[in-house]
Amino acid sequence: MIIEADIVRHPKFIKLKTLVGDIALEHLARLWAHCQQGKRGQTWTGADALYVEVVITGSSQRGKLFTALRDCDWLHERPDGIEIHEWDKYNASLVARWNRPKQTPAHKAAQPPAQPPAQTPAPVREGSGGDTSGQDRRGNTPRLTPTLVEAVAYFQKNDSGYAKADIEAVFTSFEATKMTTEHGYAWRWGNGTVTDWRNAMASRLLDRVKKNSARGAEKTDGEPPKPAGTTVAKLERA
């Protein structure tokens, strides 16, 4: 992902900063990083304003952040989703590598090159709190994944509106992909590893809520109204 050094002097950036404050550059970095995650590119099919805001902040901003990004021409609304302004153009070399076919070597080397012995990562103690992007109490390998307690606490603290059961289900789905890397434990997403678990969980939670809402609509289609006192979960659209 390429971020030009003089972006802070660009008129579009200055305009966005006046609308959202000093966090403007971080918002753009998260927006562009999502293009790279899972080789998504600049076109997000099926995405909407709520999806964009959850990707960037982890929760709904009631359309304010999305409107600012759209009015400053950082993204565009399309009939089939969202398009991030010219991301593929500025990252053309990266996109080309994604689309490059894998080549099979003509022959195998008689002997593989000498490799240094693999190092076993230092054991990581799973705690019940703290900053998962830093080091553990022994100063060992940093953790890239949260505990279940940390994940639930993060989304409840940010008033995301997601049910605890959904948070636990998404956490469990990521835990099933957990692997050991040179940087510690990490979740997998497609062919890559998750470096920002908050954004990854927020994206999957949003997809889960949308699918549950769609299934609920199909199930209740044509049925008589539910009796008084029945609670129906609603996803507030930004």
Q: Residues 114-133: pLDDT tens digits? A: 555 555 444 444 433 344 44
pLDDT of residue 28: 92
3-class SS string, 189-228: ECCEECCCHHHHHHHHHHHHHHHHHHHHHHHHCCCCCCCC
Contact at 8 Å (CB) between 31 and 74? yes
Contact at 8 Å (CB) between 148 and 168? yes
Q: What is the total count of domains within the chain?
A: 2
- List, for residues 56-77, the tens digit of each pLDDT value: 998 988 899 999 999 999 999 9
Structural domain harbouring 24 = 7-97
pLDDT of residue 225: 52
pLDDT of residue 5: 80
Decide if 212 is inside a domain: yes
pLDDT of 17 higher than 90: yes
Q: How far is residue 19's CA from residue 116's CA, in Å, rounded to a whole number?
A: 52
Same domain, 13 and 84: yes
Same domain, 92 and 15: yes
Q: What is the CATH number for 24? A: 1.10.10
What confidence category does residue 237 fall into, taking pLDDT thresholds of 50, 70 and 90? very low
Decide if 61 is inside a domain: yes
- 97, 116, 133 - which closes a domain: 97
pLDDT of residue 215: 76
Same domain, 15 and 77: yes
Phi/psi for 142 (5° steps) reads: -70, 150
Query: Residue 148: in which H helix or E strand, if any?
Result: helix 148-157
Same domain, 168 and 88: no
- List, for residues 202-213, the tens digit of each pLDDT value: 888 888 888 887
36 three-class SS: helix
- 97, 121, 138 - which closes a domain: 97
- List, for residues 93-106, the tens digit of each pLDDT value: 888 888 888 766 55
Decide if 128 is inside a domain: no
Q: How far is residue 115's CA from residue 20's CA, in Å, rounded to a whole number?
A: 50
**21-30, 99-108, 162-171, range with the lowest pLDDT:** 99-108
Place of tokens 């998260």: 30
Decide if 91 is inside a domain: yes
Name the H helices within 37-128: 49-57, 64-71, 87-90, 92-99
Same domain, 12 and 93: yes
Decide if 126 is inside a domain: no
Decide if 13 is inside a domain: yes
235: closest CA among 160, 164, 172, 168?
A: 160
Decide if 62 is inside a domain: yes
- 38, 62, 97 - which closes a domain: 97
What confidence category does residue 224 fall into, taking pLDDT thresholds of 50, 70 and 90? low
pLDDT of 156 higher than 70: yes
Q: pTM here? A: 0.44
> How many CB atoms neighbour CB 178 within 10 A?
13
75 three-class SS: strand
